[in-house]
Structure 1
Amino acid sequence: METPLIVTDFLEQAREYYGDQEAVVGAAGDRFTYAELGERTDRFAAALQERGIEKGDRVAVLDPNTHYHLEAAFGAMQLGAVHTPLNYRLEPDDYEYILSDAGVDAIYADYEYAEKIEGIRDEVPTETFVTNDADAVDGEWEDFDDVISDTGTEFDQPEMAEDEIITINYTSGTTGDPKGVCRTHRTETIHAYLMSIYHEITDDDTYLWTLPMFHVNGWGHIYAVTGMGATHVCTRGVNPDQIVSSIREEDVSLLCAAPAVLNQLIDYYESEGEPEMTGEEQVRVTTAGSAPPEATIRAVEDRFGWYLKHLYGATETGPLITISDAKRLMTDDNRFEIKKRQGMGVLGTDVRVVDEDGEDVPRDDGTLGEIVVRGNQIMDRYWNKPEATEEAFNDRVAGYYHTGDLATVDENGLIAIRDRKKDIIISGGENISSIELEDTLFDHDAVADAAVIPAPSDEWGETPKAFVVPSNDDPDNPPVSADELTEFTRNQLAGYKVVRRVEYVEELPKTATGKTQKYELRQREWADEDRMIGEG
C-alpha cells in the first residue's frame, strides 16, 4: 500500500499522540502543549485562508527562532501554501528581490525585523503583513495573536500530493542573485526521516534552537522534532550564557551549532570558570559547514561531556547527505580525525567524488574530485531558473546534484572536503559570495582592482579577506585606509558579509586571459593550515 508523504502529517502525529505533552518552550518563557500548538496553527491557517491565501501561494516567514515561526510555517503548509523562510540577517534590498522573485503573497515577520520589510512593501507583490507585536512596528501590520484570537480553527484543507512544492529556501547568492531551492513534501519528509535516524531523535528529547529555522527549515528539525513528539526550546539568536542556562534548566539533550558557535561556547566555558554544561540528560550536538578543528572537538567532548557529530550538505540537499559518525571505524587514535571528515553517505543517498570526466576518484585520500549526489532528499529544482537547474544536475555526471565542493576519499569511503570549485566563503555557517563583495569594493573610487577570498579565522572558520590594488598604484600609501574600506562594505551589506580584512597589493595574479588566479591567493593565505577550507 502506498500513501503520500505530506509534511503536515508531522504535526498531526504529534498532537494525536502527544497532545497533552509540552511541545514548545517559547523564547520569552511561554509554554505550549502539542494540542495548543496545533490549535494556534489551525487558527493561523484559517486566518490566512480568510485573507485569500490558497494552495500554491507563497507565505514568507522572517523570524529569529520563536514559536511564531513554527506556527506560521505549519499554518501556511496546512493550506498547501509554500513556506518561504527568510534569513533574518539580510538587508531590505535582499528581501525585495526574494519577495518579488518568489511572488510572496503573505508574510509573517518578527517585530524586530519587520522594519526592513516595511521599507520595501510598496515594491513587492505581498499583500498580507503580520507581526508578533504590531505596536512595535511602523506601518499597517496585523498582530499575530490578535489575528488568531479573532479566527476559528476551521479551514478548508486542500488535497496535497507528495511531489508538490511545499517550501522554497533561498540560498545566500554565492553566484549572483539568490536562488530559490524548491523542496517537495516528499523531499522534506524523507529528509526529516533521515534526521530522525542520524540524530537519534526520540520523544523524550529536548531540542534547543540555536540553528536558525530559516536554514533549510532548520535542517528539517521543524518536522523531525515535531513528528517525534519531542520538545522545542526556542531562542532569539545565539548567546552562550542563554544556551548554557537553557541546557541546564530545560534538560536539553540535542542541539546544532556551527563551529563558530562551538568556539563561543568554549570561550564562555573558560571565562566562566568551567561551569556545568549539561542538565540531567547527556547532550548531543551536531555541527556542519567548515569542519571544526580537533581542539574544538576535544573541548566539546572531553570538557563539556557532549557527544559531537559532523554532517555535510547544502540547501539543495536537505542538507543531510553525509555524516562522520562512523563508530565502528573509530579507535582512540583516529576518533578526532574521523569526526573532522565530512564522512559517509546516509541511507538511500548516492554520494560520489568524481573527476572532470565524471569518473570516481580513487580511495587514496589524495586525488581531488567534485562531490556529486543523488537521493530522495535532494531538491526538486531552482525556482524559475531552469538553466541553473539543468547545470546543477548535469555538469560532470547526469542526474546528480553537483555541490561545487572538491574532496578526497579515504580507504573507508569517507570523504573530506579540501577546497571549493566555487568562490564561496563560509563564515560562521553563512554562505558569502566573494563576487558580491568584490562588486561592492569596485564601487569605491580608491579601488582599482580587488579579489576576495576566504581567510582562516579562529572564531568563524573563515572570514572574507580582500586583496586590493589601490587606484594610485601605491599599496604602501593608498588613498583610503583598510578600516575605511571595511566600513564602506559595512554600510552596504548585511553585517555577516562585511570584508573583515584588507591587504593592499601592487597587482593581482592573473592568467594569460586576464582572469584573477584566486587559487594562488588562497594557497598563500592558507599555507599554515591543514587544508584550504576554514577549520580555524
Structure 2
Amino acid sequence: MEVPLLVTDFLDRARKYYGDEEAVVAATGERFTYDELGDRADRLSAALQERGIEKGDRVAVLDPNTHYHLEAAYGIVQLGAIHTPLNYRLTPEDYEYMLNDAGADAVIADYEYAERIEAVRDDVPTETFITNDADALEEGDGEWEDFEALVADADPDYERPEMSEDEVITINYTSGTTGDPKGVMRTHRTESLHAQLVTIHHEISDDDVYLWTLPMFHVNGWGHIYAITGMGAKHVCTRGVDAETIFRRIVDEDVSFLCCAPTVLSLLEEYREGHDAPTTGDAPMRVTAAGAAPPESIIETVEEEFGWHFRQLYGATETGPLIGTSATRRLIDEESDERFALKKRQGIAPLGTELAVVDDDGNDVPWDDETIGEILVRGNQVMEGYWRKPEETEEAFTEKREGWFHTGDLAVVNDDGMIAIRDRKKDIIVSGGENISTIELEDALFDHPDVADVAVIPAPSERWGETPKAFVVPANGDSENPPVAEDDLTAFTRERLAGYKVVHRVEFVDELPKTATGKIQKYELREREWEEEEAMVGQG
C-alpha cells in the first residue's frame, strides 16, 4: 500500500492521540495542549486563507524559538503553502533579497525583528504582514496585523487542499557562503522521512521533553518541529540562548533532550564554572551538537560533570540536515580513553542514507583514517533542489558522481566507517553553528580605503569553534604602522554585515602568500593559524 507522506500528518497524529497532553511550554510561561496548539494552527490557516494565501504561496516566518513559530509552521503547511523560515540574525538587506527571491506573499515576524522587515517592505512583493505584538512596533510603521487578534477572530474551519508528497512545502535559505543565499527546496516526502530519521537516531519518544535552543529556522529546527510533535512529546520554547535560563528550564520542566551548536555547550560550561547550578531534573539528559565539533574537553565536561549523554551530528541545509551521527553505541566503548575523540567525529550515515568519501575521480577512499576525500551523500532526506536555480542544482549533484549531493567537505574514514572532517573544499567558516563566507568578509573589508589587500580564514576559537580572522595589507604598505586600527575594521564590518559575521581578529601583514598567477595561498595562512591544534576547521 502506498500512502503519501505529508508533513501535516505529524500534528494530525498528535491531536488524535495526545490531544489532552501538554504540547508546548511557551517562552512566556503559557502552556498549550496539542488540542490547543492544533486549534490555534487551524485558526491561523483560516486567517491566511481569508487573506488570499493558497497552496504553493510562500509565507516567510521570522521568529526565535517561540510557540508562534510552531503555530505558524503548521498553519502554513496545512494550506499547502510553503513555509519559508528566515534566520533572525540577518540584516534588512538580506531579508530584502530572500523575500524577493522567494516571492513571499506574507510575512509573520516576531516583534523584536519586525523592524528589519519594515525597513524593506516597500521593496518586496509581500502584501500581508503579521506580528505577535503590533503595539511594540514604532509609530509610523506600515500596517501590521496582530497575531493574537487574528487568531482570536478567525474561525477554526479552513479548507485543506489535496497535497502530494512530491510537492515543495518548505524553503530554507543557505547562509550565502558562495554568493547570494540559495533557497533549498524540501518536499513533504523529504521533510517527513528526515523527521522519521531524527526520531530514530535521536531516540525520541512520547515522554520526551525537548528544550529549544537550536533555531527553528535551521532546516526547520533539524526536523524537530515535526519529530517532537509527531511523537506527542513536549516542546519547551525559549527566546534566545542564556545559560541560566537553560539550566533552570532543564530542572523546572524535567527536560530530557536538546540540540545545539557547540558554542552553547561552551556557554554552559563557562556558566557552571561560577555557579553551582543543577544540570538535570528528574529525567536523564542527552544532547546532540552540530557544526564544528566541540573540543574533547567540553564533551568530557558534558558527560562527566553535567551527566548528559553526548552525540555529534553532521549535516547541511541541503540534506535536511542529517548526513552522519556519532550516536553509535556499539562502535564507541564507553570505558575507552578514546570515547570522547570518537564522539566528536561526524560519524556514520543514518538509515536509508548512502554516505561516501571519494577522491577526485569519484572513487571511495580507503578506511585508513588518513586518506582525505570529499563527502558525498544521497538519501530520501536530501533536497529537491535550489529554488529557481537549476544550474546550481545540477552542479551540486553531478561533479564527481551523478545523483549524489556534493557537500564540499573533506574528510577521512576510520576502520569502522566513522567519518571525521579535516578541511573544507570551499572557504567556509563555521562559527557557533553558523556558516560565514570568507569571500563576503573580504569584499566588505576591501571597501575600506585603508585596506590594500586582505585574506580571511577560519581561526580556532574555544568558544565558537571557529572565528573569522583577517590578514590585512594596509594601504600604506607598513604593517607596523597601519593607517587604520583593528577595532576600526571590526566596526566597519559590523556596519555592513550581520552580527555573527563580524571580524574580531585582524593581523596586519606586509604581503599575502600568493602563487605565481597572483592567487592567495590561504592554506599557508590556515596551517600557521592551526599549527597548535589537533586538527583544522574547528575540530578542536
SS class of match (2:318): helix
Q: Does 1:151 align with 2:154?
A: yes
SS class of match (1:23): strand
Query: 1:160 maps to what in 2?
Result: 163
Q: Does 1:351 align with 2:355?
A: yes
1:260-293 Cα offsets, whole Å, 9 max, x none, are 10010011111103x2100000111000111111
Query: 1:431 maps to what in 2?
Result: 435
Query: 1:336 maps to what in 2?
Result: 340
SS class of match (2:240): coil
Mapped to 1, the partners of 2:153 and 2:260 lie a distance apart of 38
Q: Does 1:172 align with 2:178?
A: no
- 2:374–2:408: 8 Å Cα contact kept in structure 1? yes
Query: 1:384 maps to what in 2?
Result: 388
Letter of the structure 1 residue corresponding to residue 260 of structure 2 = A
* Aligned counterpart for 2:265 among listed residues 252, 259, 262: 262
Mapped to 1, the partners of 2:70 and 2:329 lie a distance apart of 34
Query: 1:61 maps to what in 2?
Result: 61
* Aligned counterpart for 1:319 among listed residues 318, 321, 346: 321
Mapped to 2, the partners of 1:341 and 1:30 lie a distance apart of 39
Structure 1 segment 222-301 matched on structure 2, within 5 A: 222-273=225-276, 275-301=277-303
What RMSD in Å do the two structures reach over aligned CA positions? Answer: 0.7
Query: 2:195 maps to what in 1?
Result: 192
Mapped to 1, the partners of 2:539 and 2:262 lie a distance apart of 8
Query: 2:471 maps to what in 1?
Result: 467
Give, in angstroms, the shift of residue 407 of structure 1: 0.2
Give, in angstroms, the shift of residue 514 of structure 1: 1.2
Query: 2:517 maps to what in 1?
Result: 513
- 2:311–2:344: 8 Å Cα contact kept in structure 1? no
Query: 2:80 maps to what in 1?
Result: 80
Give, in angstroms, the shift of residue 498 of structure 1: 0.1
SS class of match (1:302): helix
Letter of the structure 1 residue corresponding to residue 5 of structure 2 = L
Query: 1:528 maps to what in 2?
Result: 532
SS class of match (1:491): helix
Query: 2:4 maps to what in 1?
Result: 4
Give, in angstroms, the shift of residue 535 of structure 1: 3.3
Mapped to 1, the partners of 2:293 and 2:150 lie a distance apart of 44
Give, in angstroms, the shift of residue 245 of structure 1: 0.1
1:219-268 Cα offsets, whole Å, 9 max, x none, are 00000000000000000010000000000000000001211100100111
Letter of the structure 1 residue corresponding to residue 38 of structure 2 = G
Mapped to 2, the partners of 1:433 and 1:470 lie a distance apart of 22
Q: TM-score, normalised by structure 1?
A: 0.99
SS class of match (2:496): coil
Mapped to 1, the partners of 2:318 and 2:214 lie a distance apart of 17
1:439-471 Cα offsets, whole Å, 9 max, x none, are 000000000010101000001000000001111
Mapped to 2, the partners of 1:162 and 1:428 lie a distance apart of 34
Mapped to 2, the partners of 1:508 and 1:471 lie a distance apart of 13
Structure 1 segment 349-428 matched on structure 2, within 5 A: 349-428=353-432
Query: 1:498 maps to what in 2?
Result: 502
Query: 2:41 maps to what in 1?
Result: 41
Query: 1:106 maps to what in 2?
Result: 106
Letter of the structure 2 residue corresponding to residue 321 of structure 1 = I
Letter of the structure 2 residue corresponding to residue 155 of structure 1 = Y
Mapped to 1, the partners of 2:252 and 2:158 lie a distance apart of 38
- 2:375–2:407: 8 Å Cα contact kept in structure 1? yes
SS class of match (1:152): coil
SS class of match (2:99): helix
Letter of the structure 1 residue corresponding to residue 505 of structure 2 = R
1:312-355 Cα offsets, whole Å, 9 max, x none, are 01000111111112211222222112101101111010000000
1:10-55 Cα offsets, whole Å, 9 max, x none, are 0000001000000000000000000000000000000000000000
SS class of match (1:344): coil
Mapped to 1, the partners of 2:123 and 2:341 lie a distance apart of 50
Letter of the structure 1 residue corresponding to residue 328 of structure 2 = A
SS class of match (1:100): helix
Letter of the structure 2 residue corresponding to residue 373 of structure 1 = V
Mapped to 2, the partners of 1:229 and 1:329 lie a distance apart of 30
Give, in angstroms, the shift of residue 532 of structure 1: 1.0
Mapped to 2, the partners of 1:427 and 1:277 lie a distance apart of 25
SS class of match (2:435): strand
Letter of the structure 2 residue corresponding to residue 328 of structure 1 = R
Mapped to 2, the partners of 1:252 and 1:327 lie a distance apart of 22
Query: 2:485 maps to what in 1?
Result: 481
Mapped to 1, the partners of 2:331 and 2:79 lie a distance apart of 46
SS class of match (1:174): coil
Q: TM-score, normalised by structure 2?
A: 0.98
Mapped to 2, the partners of 1:327 and 1:54 lie a distance apart of 46
- 2:353–2:378: 8 Å Cα contact kept in structure 1? yes
Mapped to 2, the partners of 1:325 and 1:163 lie a distance apart of 30
Mapped to 2, the partners of 1:474 and 1:270 lie a distance apart of 43
Give, in angstroms, the shift of residue 515 of structure 1: 1.1
Q: Does 1:70 align with 2:73?
A: no
Mapped to 1, the partners of 2:321 and 2:248 lie a distance apart of 29
Mapped to 1, the partners of 2:120 and 2:190 lie a distance apart of 32
SS class of match (2:330): helix
SS class of match (1:394): coil
Mapped to 2, the partners of 1:511 and 1:91 lie a distance apart of 36
Letter of the structure 1 residue corresponding to residue 312 of structure 2 = H
* Aligned counterpart for 1:441 among listed residues 423, 445, 460: 445
Mapped to 2, the partners of 1:348 and 1:285 lie a distance apart of 23
Mapped to 1, the partners of 2:278 and 2:74 lie a distance apart of 36
Query: 1:90 maps to what in 2?
Result: 90
Q: How many positions carry a matched residue from both structures?
A: 535
Query: 1:305 maps to what in 2?
Result: 307
Percent of aligned pairs sharing the same letter: 69
